[in-house]
Chain A
Amino acid sequence: MAGAWRRAPWLFSVANVGTFLLLWQWLASAGVLSDLFFPAPTAVFAELWEGFSTGFLWVHIGSSFQNFTIGLGLSCLIAIPLGLVMGANRYVDALVSPYVWALASMPSVALVPLLVLMLGFTDAAKISLIVLSAVFPIMINCMAGVKTVDKSLLTAGQVFGAKKRQLYSRVVLPSAAPFVISGVNQGMSQALIGLVVAEMFATRQGLGYLMVRAQESFNAPLLYGVLILLVVISLTFVEIMRRLEARVAPWQTLDGI
């Protein structure tokens, strides 16, 4: 028995989650759990199925996905070059970093009222919040990536006559790459938060809006359904980034954590 678990660890997880869902189903159908608050898993999946087959879920997912990719893309475009320069140049670092750290440590959620005031309930407000959530973790990680380059490698490069440009492309960038990836990783999860918050406050579309509407109409199955969708979406992103990281920096993977 134990041998089977060891050979296929996912089997254990499937059994684990399966038992959990069965137990929940049983408690819900026995009436122990109030179906207003804890609807049976079958009801949740039925709601999801209906949402997908009538297509109204796709509209919200599409809207969320569009804003998310635009926001994250913009964040990368801004943050990666700026972060790399901050890491390489002491003066730029000292000039920019007070503001970067201040904004990075601020819960970006608090910016929602200001953004709504300035931009109204528009996509621009949502994308701005996503960018403001994601841009600073990416920037800080890129900076750290350049700063932690092994000095002896740089010296070695210099000794062997590498030009500044070569030092950057051959030494600095490869060693900063895993930091960039992990920055994008963090930025992504922050962007997801920014997205959901923006949609909860300021729209008629998207998964965050759907949750608020489900809450207001006491549609618990839909609420749980959207939560499950969010779990699936974010786990997919995490997995994609893990693959990317393994390719860019195979020596960096932290297995078993």
Chain B
Amino acid sequence: MGAVARLRRRLGERVFWTLFTVVNLTLFFVGWELFARSGVVSSLFLPEPTRMWTALVDEFSRGDLWGHLGYSARNFAIGVLLAIVIGVPLGLAAGSNRLFYRLLSPYIWGMSSVPRIAWLPLLILIFGFSEMSKLILIFISAVFPMIINGLAGVKTVDRTLLTAGKVFGAKWRHRYVMIVLPHALPYIVSGFKQGMTRALAAVVVSEMFGGSQGIGFVIVMAGQRFNVALLYALLVFIVLAALVIVAVVDRLERRLAPWRTQVAI
């Protein structure tokens, strides 16, 4: 430990931990490669990273993977946008108006507590294996985190700020724009983050059930054809996509609400 601690002091915290992660990941993948090559575990279950890479490059160069990704990305975007447009105003309204909240809350809590995926059989029953059932599943998955976070954002506004605003003669509209919305903003953004990760899961699962397009479909096909290298590669690909989404929203969060680093919901 002494040598490591000395190295840490000499390099400085940032460089040291970046280096640490790089070495960590490199060792992980090299170890994986060697372990897979040794043949202890059947290559059917554990492909080498190099084989995963070639499988992915193969699939891209044959051209159909781009189409599937585009299809998934489009469904994701439509579902998430609809969820934002409908969910955020609904959440804000439910947070501001007590009666509206009481009216809506049993359905919000009921709907959001069901595992989202469980809606899929019902949607397939009603809409068939169509794009509509996929989009609605994505929408349902994404909309409740947005509603609930919008709601929480409004409900947790500091009362004294509102009273102060009133005392100083701010109109309702002004209080809303100057006090409530800035407070609710970080909550809304964290709702985006939850909603988007859930939407991603919904995209994948809706394509795994029926249909012949999208990354979920490619994953199922890879599994059925025992193309494990491609299967692993696609999983890694999905991880990267999810990390990019989270990173983008994180950046948005830091820009919109630099005074709070974390929202406790």
Contacts and interface: CB of A to CB of B under 8 A. Distances in A.
B200 interface: yes
B252 interface: no
A195 B115 CA distance: 9
A47 to B, nearest CB: 14
Which of A105, A110, A196 is the most central at the interface, judged by chain B CB atoms within 10 Å of its CB? Answer: A110
Given A37-B126, A105-B246, A223-B125, A116 B120 contact: no
How many interface residues does chain A have, given as a range? Answer: 35 or more
Contacts of B208: 109, 112-113, 201
Interface in A1-26: 5, 9, 12-13, 16-17, 20
Given A37-B125, A103-B239, A256-B155, A227 B118 contact: yes
Nearest to B240: A102
A94 B21 contact: yes
A94 B24 contact: yes
Interface string A95-124: 100110111011111111110111000000
A238 B224 CA distance: 37
B17 A94 contact: yes
Interface in A175-195: 189, 192-193, 195
B219 interface: yes
Contact of A105 (B4, B118, B243): B243
A143 to B, nearest CB: 13
A15 B160 CA distance: 34
Contacts of A111: 235
B21 A98 contact: yes
A12 B102 CA distance: 8
Interface in B212-262: 216, 219-220, 222-224, 226, 228, 231-232, 234-235, 238-239, 242-243, 246
A246 interface: no
Contacts, number: 139
Nearest to B116: A193
Given A17-B106, A102-B243, A215-B124, A117 B226 contact: yes
B103 A215 contact: no
A230 B226 contact: no
A113 B219 contact: yes
B254 to A, nearest CB: 18
A254 B197 CA distance: 24
A159 interface: no
Contacts of A208: 118
Nearest to A215: B121
A257 B118 CA distance: 25
A88 interface: no
B102 A218 contact: no
Which of B21, B121, B228, B239 is the most central at the interface, judged by chain A CB atoms within 10 Å of its CB? Answer: B121
A107 B121 contact: no
Instruction: Tell me the interface secondary structure of chain A in the complex.
Output: helix
Contact of B156 (A118, A227, A257): A257
Nearest to B206: A109
A220 interface: yes
Nearest to A219: B125
A112 B219 CA distance: 9
Which of B28, B125, B197, B216 is the most central at the interface, judged by chain A CB atoms within 10 Å of its CB? Answer: B125
Contacts of A231: 110, 113-114
B109 interface: yes
A135 B197 CA distance: 17
Contacts of B116: 193
B115 A192 contact: yes
A138 interface: no
A106 B238 contact: yes
A118 B45 contact: yes
Contact of B204 (A20, A98, A109): A109
A8 to B, nearest CB: 12
Contact of B113 (A20, A114, A235, A256): A235
A122 B107 CA distance: 35
Contact of A238 (B113, B122, B200): B113
10 nearest A-B pairs in the assembled complex, by CB-CB distance: A113-B223, A107-B201, A215-B121, A105-B242, A193-B115, A234-B113, A211-B121, A109-B205, A196-B115, A106-B239
Given A16-B106, A110-B238, A189-B115, 19 more contacts: A13-B102, A13-B105, A94-B17, A94-B24, A105-B242, A106-B235, A106-B238, A108-B201, A109-B208, A110-B219, A110-B234, A110-B235, A111-B235, A113-B224, A118-B45, A208-B118, A215-B121, A226-B118, A257-B151
24 contacts: A12-B102, A37-B125, A94-B20, A107-B197, A107-B200, A107-B238, A107-B242, A109-B204, A110-B234, A110-B238, A113-B219, A113-B222, A114-B235, A117-B223, A192-B115, A195-B115, A214-B121, A215-B122, A215-B125, A224-B122, A227-B122, A230-B118, A231-B110, A231-B113
